[in-house]
Amino acid sequence: MSLPCLSIKDTKAFYVNGVGATMGRHTQNWIDINLFGHQLTFIKAAKFDFNNPNYVFEGKILPAFHFGVIVDSIVWKNIYNKLQDSGLELVTESTFLEGKIGQHKSFFVQDPNGYMLEFKCFKKPTETFKQ
């Protein structure tokens, strides 16, 4: 995924130092991030005006414009604790589809560009894409 960003420095600090991702190729105007095996490219750009509507899922208001990262439960808890300890505002940990196919724990955090990341771990990883 390639997305515009406001600051390469702040984006790198959030993803590498905050989340624990690794940095890939980069210049002054763009950076590749290895987010647990998923490539994100951020390109320095002027401020974008995104309309971020919300939606309701299982009684919780969630950001419609976000991207998700699937990790195992240990990595999930480590990231959650690290971000919570850093003082970032997290959308509280929730369990979705409890007792159903695809049960997972999830939390959201906003990066310095205004993008919402959803970190999730599935109770049964084999059910990640099952309906």
Q: pLDDT tens for residues 27-74? A: 888 888 888 888 787 888 766 655 556 667 778 877 656 788 889 999
Q: Which residues lie closer than 8 Å to 103 by C-beta, 6 or more apart?
A: 95, 96, 97, 122, 123, 124, 127
Tens of pLDDT, residue by residue over 84-129, are: 898 888 877 889 889 998 899 999 998 888 888 889 999 998 888 6
CATH number at residue 79: 3.10.180.10
Same domain, 36 and 75: no
Same domain, 35 and 61: no
CATH number at residue 21: 3.30.720
| pTM metric for this prediction | 0.70
Least Cα distance to 106 among 77, 85, 84, 64 occurs for: 77
Number of domains in the chain: 2
Domain containing 9: what range?
A: 2-44
